[in-house]
Amino acid sequence: MLLGTAAIVYAADQLTKALVVANIDVGQRIDVIGDLVQLWHAENSGAAFSLLQNGQLLFVVVSLFALALITYFFRALHGRSLGIFVLLGLVLGGTLGNFTDRVRHAQVTDFVSVGIGELRWPTFNVADSSIVIGILAFVVLLTLFDGHDRSGERSGASPERGA
């Protein structure tokens, strides 16, 4: 599940970015749902919200750290719900998508813009969405629905019977 989901996210990310680069000039905006949702070709050499512009080495290190964390969680959560591995696949595919762009182009292509007029959420792409959704859902799933109580024991387990 993890690798299949990651492959789908990676392919969708790279395909959509290639289509944007081939068909929309940098800076060009195309209304999709009026002014609310636009395709807006932007090149981002920074992190989320265009922070830390030109910090390529830092982003490579962070991406490698993220890949190590995904590997850790994959091993540590072996035997758990398939949903957990789908969510890890979202994060893996998104991480690899943006990592590929940073290595090949020293920047990431962003193209989804949501907002009204000049009041807009920072432009993002499929990889960014997959990473954010995957991490948030992963945390919620493990925090609220994983079936462990605070002592680390499975909830619903029968208590030991005394003599």
Residues with catalytic roles: 110, 128
Radius of gyration of the chain measured on its C-alpha atoms: 19
- Three-state DSSP state, 35: coil
Three-state secondary structure along 65-132?
A: HHHHHHHHHHHHCCCCCHHHHHHHHHHHHHHHHHHHHHHHHCCEEEEEEEEECCEECCCECHHHHHHH
> d(Cα 126, Cα 5) in Å, to the nearest integer?
13
